[in-house]
Amino acid sequence: MINVLYFASLKEALGTSAEEIEADNNITDVGALREWICARGEPWQSSLGQQQRLMASVNQQLARPDTQISDGDEVAFFPPVTGG
């Protein structure tokens, strides 16, 4: 299982802060996981679709779409953060 976490506005839009997704041979990196989640339709498509600027982490390390993931990993999605 891959533990997927959602933060900030994603948590509110999706109505959950976390879910577990069965590890699959087609889900090998962060980009593939994001596409798989979006393929479920709304509200995932509008919240996580490619038109959305999001950041991701794998096991609490910033990640890119091509960052590899595997069974047991924690993947978090969150909007970019700014500060001042």
Dist CA 83 CA 73 (whole Å) = 29
Q: What percent of the chain has pLDDT above 70?
A: 96
Tell me the pTM: 0.92
**Token pair for residue 11?**
């948590």
| Alpha helices (H) in 7-43, listed in sequence order | 9-14, 30-38
Domain ranges of the chain: 2-78
At the topology level of CATH, where does 2-78 sit?
Ubiquitin-like (UB roll) (3.10.20)
Beta bridge partners of 63: 56
Q: DSSP character for 24?
A: -
- What are the tens digits of pLDDT across the range 1-28? 999 999 999 999 999 999 999 988 789 9
